[in-house]
Amino acid sequence: MSGLEIAGVLLGTFPLIISGLEHYRDVAKVAGFWWATRKRYLKCRDDVRYHEIMYRRNLKELLMPIVNDSKEIELLISDPGGNGWKEKSLQGDLEVRLDESYPLYLNTITLMNETADDLRNELSFDKDTVQAKLSSGTDAKKQPTSRPSKSASMKSTLDYQKFKIKFSLGESVRDEMLDQLKECNERLEKLLSTSDKVSSLSTIPTNSKRSSSLESALRKAWKKSDLLFKALHEAWQCSCQQYHYANLRLEHRTVSEICFDVIL
């Protein structure tokens, strides 16, 4: 799987986490323990949404100079597993855009993808027994085709209770994963911004650079002249100051030697 495909896969992971959280919320209300976990749930949901938005913005900023059509960018973002993420030409443009930061950028996205999967597992959204127990609380109309065995029922109930306790007590573990997502998002943003900054500086015309150097030299000359004026003003402490004057002459010199002459 290419780096661009991994970026698309991660886009599709965030909605799965949020969907699972919303499923948990619905069942928690039915089971009667919603108010006990409401604040933890809301914080976790909003944190996941925040990191999803930041990641989407990072990807849009990455794609904008590469994909000229804004509608095509929106199609890519809205279709995480689509064929657009597999295009080799887009992959090549991505490598050129990121330059030397390309490997680290992809490693960061890979780490984000792994962290998002770990978060899903931490919330037990992939466990069939938990999902079955959760679904039974929200879908009373569905009747089982056969009565489950006593051991299977006990195992399902135990998994469900463990999940409920895990969500309440596992806040520190979730926060650690969410902090990891935050750190990765910030790294993506910095890698991209510094790459763009270096790229923009490298395209500055030579004439502009020369003009900037000349402006810097003139500013230095002005500061030195101001210091000389102040020195003369302090030295001439007489009643006829208005009759004294000094002229400065600037020369274009090709050598670095300092030349200072006083003409009386």
User: Distance between CA atoms of 103 and 106, rounded to whole angstroms?
Assistant: 5
Share of the chain above pLDDT 70, in %: 68
Rounded to whole angstroms, how far apart are CA atoms 121 and 24?
A: 14
Estimate to the nearest angstrom the gap between the alpha carbon of 181 and the chain centroid: 9
- For the segment 89-135, what is each residue's pLDDT rounded down to a tens digit? 888 888 888 888 899 999 999 999 999 999 887 776 545 555 555 55
Rounded Cα distance, 21 and 15, in Å? 10
Helices (H), the chain: 3-31, 34-63, 70-78, 88-98, 102-122, 128-138, 150-169, 171-202, 206-235
* CA-based nearest residue to 228, from 243, 213, 249, 207: 249
pLDDT at residue 188 in the model: 94
Tokens representing residue 194 in the block: 């510094």
Residues 30, 134: contact at Cβ < 8 Å? Answer: no
Contacts of 69 (CB under 8 A, 6+ apart): none
**Which tokens go with 104?**
């680290």
Q: What is the mean pLDDT of the chain?
A: 77
Whole-model pTM?
A: 0.63
Which pLDDT score, from 0 to 100, does residue 141 have? 45
Q: Does position 8 have pLDDT exceeding 50, yes or no?
A: yes
